[in-house]
Chains A and B, each alone.
Chain A
């Protein structure tokens, strides 16, 4: 006996119907940029193990137009990920109380953004001068 035929509402293209859903899908798709960057680092590490010549060839391959374009797209996506990550932090964190009052949402978002700016400046300093 075959299974009963039940109606399933089609979901193809559901996210194109509403700007909120579109933003959600772009946010979720930033994961591709995060994965791609991790793999890029992994390849660089493998080239480093292979020696000077291989590593320098890898650096040269990054300086071609297409990789630069794709990495700029990845940069935009990861920056969007960062912004959305802090934007939803009031919802992903448990309530925080300070002095008997709940810390307001915008303070949490602002703290996250400020932490990111400070952490990025530390990375920039270490990369350039340490």
Chain B
């Protein structure tokens, strides 16, 4: 019997959903609301600090996990929501949704690799 690939994608969806529920609001608030509005010091996300973070092992792990799991969570949910709207697009679209999440993960990994280590 052919094994279903559902558990893999559901786990990624679940992990991304849990991570974005735990820290998503705070991450969005700090990085793209508070810093641009000047509610916190600009130095918290200036070039040298962002670079140092992305060149550290912890920073690379955080960025890769957040980008990848958020994408897998969102794309999986988007696929099912399209179905709810009556768009029955089948296995090709499913592969596309998960494929785009995988592509985003690979791009993030490549960029983090290119930044090198401090």
Contact = CB atoms under 8 A, between A and B. Distances in A.
Contacts of A119: 22-23, 26
A124 B43 CA distance: 14
Contact of A49 (B32, B70, B80, B114): B114
Question: How many A residues are at the interface, by size bracket?
Answer: 35 or more
B68 to A, nearest CB: 8
Contact of A68 (B37, B40, B47): B37
B73 A34 contact: yes
A63 B114 CA distance: 27
Nearest to B41: A128
Nearest to A24: B84
B25 A79 contact: yes
Contact of A56 (B14, B36, B47): B47
Given A34-B24, A37-B28, A119-B22, A45 B112 contact: yes
A123 B23 contact: yes
Contacts of A85: 17-18, 20-21
A119 B21 CA distance: 10
B30 interface: yes
Contact of B78 (A32, A63, A68, A128): A32
B102 interface: no
B21 A127 contact: no
Contacts of B86: 11-12
A77 B80 CA distance: 18
Given A45-B54, A123-B26, A59 B36 contact: yes
Interface in A40-78: 40-42, 44-46, 48-49, 52, 55-56, 59, 62-63, 67-68, 71-72, 74-75, 78
Interface of B: 14, 16-18, 20-33, 35-37, 40, 44-47, 50-51, 54, 63, 66-67, 70-71, 73-75, 77-78, 80-81, 84, 86, 104, 107-108, 111-112, 114-115
